[in-house]
Amino acid sequence: MTADKPFRPAQFTEHKLICSILDGTYPPGTALPSERKLADQFGVTRPTIREALQRLAGQGWITIRHGKPTQVNNYWETGGLQLLGTMARHSEVLPESFIIYLLELRGILTPPIARQAVKNEPSLIYDKLADRKKLKNTPEAFTEFDWQLQQLMARYSGNPVYPMILNDFASIFKTMGILYFIEKDARQASLAYYDNLQHAIEKKHFEIIENVVRKAMQKSIEIWTRLKIS
């Protein structure tokens, strides 16, 4: 909730319920309390609870069973892209493993996306990479630059679904990105990645684009894993 854009009661309740599911208060396979108890817990009316539960059921978080307690679903098995995007917007209560899963997914998707983007618009990607020379040495600047590069590659990949998928992860990327780029090693690794990618485009070595990106994505997983262990 923010001061300039507060949640409506149903949105607030939906947010609190999702947090309670993700933080293990109501883990998959368990039953939610009754509408009356939830209304008391969150300080809202029962119709508000009912609206929030209907929205969660529509997303796949829960199963409403008439005459029986509402069941929390195993969202890892039953969820889809909408639910995944919602999870990404609740980074404060996500398990540490979720970030690794996202990075692994990025490592699979980004190399072919980058290859197609470079094939379609090499000059645009090259010019964006050249902007790194003006990049301020701050976590915020690196996070924004990296996000813009990913958006650009998704946009010019030729597949309009890629930008839509990426958009769902804007908030978690920008939150986690700043934590990641606090580390000097992370900034240096990204600069090396940008250098290698720009060099491959300049020399028209388009056949190695995927490998350059894949190695960079794997390096980011290694750095993030080390950060969370230390």
Domain with CATH 1.20.120.530 in the chain: 95-229
Please tell me whether residue 69 adopts helix, strand or coil conformation.
coil
- Single out the residue of 139, 228, 129, 133 nearest to residue 186, CA to CA: 139
- State how far the Cα of 65 lies from the Cα of 86, in Å rounded to an integer: 23
DSSP, res 31: B
For residue 118, the cross-strand partners are: none
Q: In CATH, which of 3.50.50.60, 3.20.20.70, 1.10.10.10, 3.40.50.300 is domain 9-79?
A: 1.10.10.10
- Which residues of the chain have a pLDDT value below 70? 1-7, 229-230
Fold classification of 95-229 (topology level): Four Helix Bundle (Hemerythrin (Met), subunit A) (1.20.120)
- Please give the full DSSP string across 163-217, using - where no structure is assigned: HHHHHTTHHHHHHHHHHHHTSHHHHHHHHHHHHHHHHHHHTT-GGGHHHHHHHHH
Neighbours of 158 (CB within 10 A): 12
Query: Closest Cα partner for 114 from 149, 164, 143, 138?
Result: 149
The residue type at 41 = Q
Query: Tens digit of pLDDT for each residue in 28-37?
Result: 999 999 999 9
36-46 pLDDT, tens digit per residue, is 999 999 999 99
Q: Which amino acid is located at 143 in the chain? A: T
The residue written with tokens 């600047």 in the block is 141
What is the reported pLDDT for 5?
44
Domain with CATH 1.10.10.10 in the chain: 9-79
